[in-house]
Chains A and B, each alone.
Chain A
Amino acid sequence: MSTDTPDLQAHGDLAPHGESDSQHDSGASGHEEHHGLTDMQYVGIFVFLAVVTGAEVVLSYWQPGGFFLPLLLSMMVVKFFVVVLFFMHLRFDNRLFAVLFYLGLSLAVFVYTVALFTFHFFSGS
């Protein structure tokens, strides 16, 4: 084996953050970029998610008229994408991973929205 080739498998390293590993990962695998967030930022995101969840619960008891459903659904979507983008690192990762995931998600939303329309779910009849 060539000695020029970094052998991550043999090193058994935890992360690509070592010098040689970083070079290898950015060049060869292309998916292990430094994700840019610190532990404290993750805690901050968690606090945000917890606050939004609390607001959702309060809203479900309060139910402010016509705003209730759109507001609740908006909060759900915000929480969903905050977790996907930051906790799952999709914002920092290769775009192909995002395409694979959003393809499945979009297909699911489309198929089941059509299914619910077919069963007159939104018309209430």
Chain B
Amino acid sequence: MSEDSVREDKTSGNGAPDLGNEPPKGSGTSTIDQIPMGGLPGPGPSGPVEGSEHGDTLTDLPGSDAAEHPPLASTTALSNNKMGMWLFLGSECLLFGGLISTYMLYRGRHSGDLGPDQIYDIPFTSVSSFVLLMSSLTMVLAVSAANRKDERNTKLWLVTTALLGATFVGGQAYEFTSFYREGLGFTTSLFSSSFFTLTGFHGVHVTVGIIMLLAVTMMLRSDRVPGRRAEVVELVGLYWHFVDIVWIVIFTLVYLIPA
């Protein structure tokens, strides 16, 4: 809202808030200068109610439409953060779709004794999959604890999730090392390049997830979480579960289906 339009509303008497008739509250200064730069404040996880620090805003004036019906922070009345996360995860499907397709195309392009059927250790990878699946359970328990405002269990489950994720990444590092010792390097064949790129990208995602989990745990400890705590934990949880569903696809298409 521009300053001119506010002035016009003050004098027109067309149903707009009659600012001139109301005594200013708080500091006693005019309210026009106190409208936040980003527009009128509104409730919601992504749009905290602000403006009280330096005085009252237009929404606080009694009798105004804005005071009775506070404007929403988002036109959809949904959390912008959460919507952004889902949009990001939707775009991540395209990234991993490309990597999985590339692997499927090139999995037969290798030298005779260093192919998928010879080199994969299915029992070991099954245990890794089970660990990642279990981390999804601990993550959802962390979100559940956060929704119950049970901060102690929230932190406990977040750290457990991070540890399980670290176990998975450690297992992946061990697998890569053993493949390398058997002679399968990144540039050995098209199969090895596409395999290391796909699983490596996934491993990086898991590592980023671990960093996010530990960062949220630290912020919970020091009480410096930006925004609502349950939503922050849920956003990290969404990312973590996405990493898990990508592994569900990789485990079946890459490891279990013979080349």
Contacts and interface: CB of A to CB of B under 8 A. Distances in A.
A101 B90 CA distance: 4
B94 A13 contact: no
Given A1-B51, A121-B105, A46 B86 contact: no
Interface string A86-122: 0111000010110011111101110110011001010
B238 A5 contact: no
B90 A103 contact: yes
B183 interface: no
Interface string B170-207: 00000000000000000000000000000000000000
B230 A16 contact: yes
A80 to B, nearest CB: 5
B18 interface: no
Interface string B104-122: 1100000000000000001
Interface string B240-256: 01101100110111011
B42 to A, nearest CB: 8
Chain B at the A interface: mostly helix, strand, loop or mixed? helix
A17 B245 contact: no
A87 B140 CA distance: 6
A109 B97 contact: yes
B81 to A, nearest CB: 10
A31 B79 contact: yes
Contact of B257 (A37, A72, A84, A105): A72
Interface string B25-51: 000000000000000001111001111
Interface in B58-117: 59-60, 67, 70, 72, 76-79, 82-83, 86-87, 89-94, 96-98, 100-101, 104-105
Contacts of B256: 56-57, 59-60, 72
B133 A53 contact: yes
Interface centre among B79, B104, B129 (most CB of A within 10 A): B79
Contacts of A7: 43, 48-49
B78 A5 contact: no
A9 B47 CA distance: 9
A112 B98 contact: yes
Chain A at the B interface: mostly helix, strand, loop or mixed? helix
B148 A14 contact: yes
Contacts of A75: 252
Given A83-B244, A84-B245, A46 B87 contact: no
Nearest to A108: B97
Nearest to A49: B133
Contact of A14 (B154, B242, B248): B154
20 contacts: A8-B48, A9-B49, A10-B48, A14-B147, A14-B154, A15-B147, A29-B77, A29-B78, A30-B77, A37-B144, A39-B141, A39-B144, A57-B126, A72-B257, A79-B248, A84-B245, A96-B83, A97-B78, A101-B90, A107-B94
Interface of A: 1-2, 4-10, 12-18, 24, 28-32, 34-35, 37, 39, 42-43, 45-46, 49-50, 53-54, 56-57, 59-61, 63, 69, 72-73, 75-76, 79-80, 83-84, 87-89, 94, 96-97, 100-105, 107-109, 111-112, 115-116, 119, 121
Interface of B: 42-45, 48-52, 56-57, 59-60, 67, 70, 72, 76-79, 82-83, 86-87, 89-94, 96-98, 100-101, 104-105, 122-123, 126, 129-130, 133-134, 136-137, 139-141, 144, 146-151, 154, 223, 225, 227-231, 233-234, 237-238, 241-242, 244-245, 248-249, 251-253, 255-258
